[in-house]
Amino acid sequence: MAQEKSYIYLERYVNEFKKVANEVSKDFCAIQGSQSYTLPYTKLSRNKVSLFISKPNKLIYKKFVGKNVNFFIHPDMLYEIKPTNLNWKKSVQPTSSTRTVLIDKNIFVKLHLNKRLSRYIRRLTKSSVIHSIKVSSELEQAILKKNIPESFAFLPETIGIVYRNFGMLVRETQPRPSVREKRIIVPMFSLYSRDLNKPSDKPLFVQIVERRKIDPMDFLINEIIWPLFKNMSFFINNYGLLLEPHGQNILAEIAPNLKITRIVHRDFQSMYIDLDIRKKKKLSNKFNKHLMGTECKKIISYSLVYDNYVGRYMLDKFVKLINKEWNIPKRVIISKIKESFKRFFDQSLFPKNYFYTMAESEFKNNKTVFTRHKNPRYR
């Protein structure tokens, strides 16, 4: 069970990794890399960096910002950033995303990485740092209003540091809103994936169903689909924020009784913003990046996130697993998900009889190319 394995183990090895383009040195990757490696950093004076914050934990803030600022650099980027006064003292562990590392038990750091991972080159520029901090701040404000769904939590990105145009982000590991009950968090992909080191072990989803003696369809719909859709629709309708919840960007928060209590969202760098909804809600236009209608048509944004990221990247995996383990027809599972979609979402935001995915190719200059398909599976 999840309690028997460390969080970072699940990140790295209980994950159905796809073989994708990867220009990063193997030593620093999740699967091929060593258990940990030393992450270099340099101390920079405050006047040499741009600093962006969103309610950081005070103790975490002091680890990065004082008289000087600790700026961390991916080892593959030393040739590009060319820092001075380099330190090699911090042991870190890579997560599934490779460029995000666990630096302490309560801190992730997301790094600039001018290397291709999958279709994109993973640069972290000033504009992306600002966007991430602004989204995190907006989610923080929503919590203060105390009207968010009980199913929602997020990992706050609280400190952004930019040196020249190279960025880094601090992501705290404690979900907000905080709770008193001791719970664990598990990457969503770890629920449906097999352990790469123990492929004969059943996926965690199956183990939980068997331990709790519950119906797998009830578990999927009531504790994963409905909470996720509720979170997405709430932030679309009230804030014009389109959460990006594929299997890597969300985590299941699990109580001691193995019930999923909340869906925890993370990674806000590419989150789309619906300015029309924000205007209707009389919210300020604080965002300058990933505005719907500027990078692509609005319906493409909504379809890409739901049909591609949620549907093809995650729901397909759950449907395949449940069909295989319990012989429940795929059409029955898909039908239940479609009913859930109609319950929570404004269907007019999505293209009616077709959907969009990212093209199966590398993107030049990180410019996304879309492919249009007929008959969306989960709408």
Task: Report pLDDT digits (tens) over 128-162.
Answer: 999 999 999 999 999 999 889 999 999 999 999 99
Q: Give the chain's end-to-end CA distance (angstroms, integer).
A: 33
pLDDT of residue 1: 47
Average pLDDT for 198-204: 95
Q: What is the 3-state secondary structure (H, E, C) of the chain?
A: CHHHCCHHHHHHHCCCCCCCCECCCHHHCCCCCCCCEEEEEEEEEHHHEEEEECCCCHHHHHHHECCEEEEECCHHHHHHHCCCCEEEEEEEEECCCCCEEEEECCEEEEECCCCEECCEECCCCHHHHHHHHHHHHHHHHHHHCCCCCCCEEECCEEEEEEECCEEEEEEECCCECCCCCCCEEEECHHHHCCECCECCCCCHHHHHHHHHCCCHHHHHHHHHHHHHHHHHHHHHHHHCEECCCCCCCEEEEECCCCCEEEEEECCCCCCEECHHHHHHCCCCCCCCCCECCCCCCHHHHHHHHHHHHHHHHHHHHHHHHHHHHHCCCHHHHHHHHHHHHHHHCCHHHCCCCEEEEECCCCCHHHCCCEEEEECCCCC
pLDDT band for 362, please (50, 70, 90 cuts).
low
Question: Where exactly are the structural domains of the chain?
Answer: 2-11+20-374
Q: Is 374 exposed, middle or buried (0-12, 13-18, 19+ CB in 10 A)?
A: exposed
Lowest mean pLDDT among 109-123, 224-238, 295-309: 109-123
pLDDT of residue 364: 61
pLDDT tens by residue, 218-242: 999 999 999 999 999 999 999 999 9
Lowest mean pLDDT among 91-105, 325-339, 363-377: 363-377
pLDDT at 307 over 70: yes
For residues 301 and 242, is the Cβ–Cβ distance under 8 A? yes
Of the candidate CATH numbers 1.20.1250.20, 3.20.20.10, 3.40.33.10, 1.10.510.40, the domain formed by 2-11+20-374 belongs to 1.10.510.40
pLDDT at 89 over 90: no
Percent of the chain exceeding pLDDT 70 equals 94
pLDDT at 268 over 50: yes
pLDDT at 4 over 70: no
Tokens in use for 275? 């300015």
Cα 89 to the center of its chain, rounded Å:
28
Lowest mean pLDDT among 79-88, 176-185, 339-348: 79-88
Tell me the Cα Rg of the chain: 20
pLDDT at 354 over 60: yes
Q: Is 129 exposed, middle or buried (0-12, 13-18, 19+ CB in 10 A)?
A: buried
Query: Average model confidence (pLDDT) for the chain?
Result: 92
pLDDT of residue 20: 61
pLDDT at 330 over 50: yes
pLDDT of residue 18: 62
pLDDT of residue 2: 45
Average pLDDT for 314-321: 97
pLDDT at 21 over 70: no
pLDDT at 179 over 90: yes
pLDDT at 86 over 70: yes
